[in-house]
Amino acid sequence: MPRLARLDIAGLLQHVIVRGIERRDIFNDDHDRQRFIDRFTILLSETGVRCYAWALLTNHFHLLLMPTSTTLSSFMRRLLTGYAVSFNRRNKRSGHLFQNRYKSIVCEEESYLLELVRYIHLNPLRAGMVKSLEEMDHYPWSGHAVLLGNRNFDGQELQAVLERFGNKPTIARQTYRQYVSEGIKEGRRDELVGGGLKRSQGDRPSNEYESYDERVLGSGNFVDSLKQEDLLRDKMKSVVTLERLIAAVSAVLCIAPDLVRKPSKSRVPSLARGIICHLAIFEIGYSGSEVGTYLHLGSSGVCLAAKRGEKYLKENAVTMGQIMATIEK
């Protein structure tokens, strides 16, 4: 049975799990882990992806991310490809390092954010990489020590997590640590790695079932909202082609459409490409690779352009309205 396409929608919390091919080790030592973290930090800054939790083990890792101005697939491709090249070079090996398809689960934020932060940060303890919570408080390869203020990691969203435990940092950290401690006795939480409400619906009559999706962790209503958004994106793509989008943006910015698809550092064509990248990916539903191929941009070029376009449109709402009106004509 073919696998379902990812729900790669900006502004959604995503639990990402990446494993080594054939469950082989992807980190041989702390040097490998540091090289991964260095690349991860740079990409978080460049792409605007938010990181709420993370944990590196030996043959896999967990991330809790929220893409904002780039797609998750684009971010993960850059992260995994760059690290694999570095790892292979350092360890004198060749071939694939990761399983072909990482796992990403869209999560309902208010219901599951804190549960997932705790679940992810307890992974090193469950795996026996640390022996106690006290040791984990200073473990350098997860976001737990960062939340406690014992380690630094510039890309982690500290405030967004700690503010849910209290207004004062000291109290918030104490409450957070107690919350993590209480989670130790719960053991494995297989229900936190996807499947929506199916796990708890048992043998109830089919007419009482809520919607579920193996790509989603959340309520039936949340699943329905995602499906609706996905359907709207598919419909939008069938109506608004990239050619039509370029024509609309070019008309509003008063430039020739063919200039948009040519390499140029001139301000207006560059701005047009940024607006097109942002709208195509985050409003219409095209993938970064589709847009990059059409505009002759690499993945990093698409990410940077989309951020530039998003910033401009936020500051110039009138332009956004003009573009949408032009498309609808």
Q: Can you tell me which residue has the tokens 């460049």?
A: 46
Q: Can you tell me which residue has the tokens 């209503």?
A: 221
Average pLDDT over residues 9-22: 89
- We find that the CATH architecture of domain 13-193 is 2-Layer Sandwich (3.30)
Sheet holding 216-217: strands in order across? 50-56, 60-66, 13-19, 103-107, 216-217
The structural domains of the chain, with segments of one domain joined by +, span 13-193, 240-328
Helices assigned H by DSSP within the chain: 30-47, 72-90, 109-121, 123-126, 133-136, 144-147, 158-162, 169-184, 220-239, 242-253, 257-260, 267-279, 288-295, 299-315, 317-328
- Please return the burial class of 167, using the count of CB atoms within 10 Å of its CB with bins 0-12, 13-18 and 19+: exposed
Q: Which two tokens stand for residue 303?
A: 């990410």
Please give the pLDDT value at position 208.
44
Please give the pLDDT value at position 236.
57
- Name the fold adopted by 240-328: Chromosomal Replication Initiator Protein Dnaa; Chain: A; (1.10.1750)
Least confident of 169-178, 182-191, 233-242, 312-321: 233-242
Does residue 201 register a pLDDT over 60? no
Neighbouring CB atoms inside 10 A of 205's CB total 6
Q: Which two tokens stand for residue 247?
A: 């024509």
End-to-end CA distance of the chain, in Å? 41
Look at residues 82, 262, 68 and name the one whose alpha carbon lies nearest to residue 160. Answer: 68
Instruction: For residue range 213-243, list pLDDT tens digits in order.
Output: 677 777 777 777 776 666 556 655 666 788 8
Instruction: For residue range 109-138, list pLDDT tens digits in order.
Output: 778 899 999 999 999 999 999 999 999 999
66 and 161 in contact (C-beta within 8 Å)? no
Does residue 48 register a pLDDT over 60? yes
Does residue 187 register a pLDDT over 70? no
Instruction: For residue range 252-290, list pLDDT tens digits in order.
Output: 999 998 888 887 778 888 999 999 988 888 777 787 888
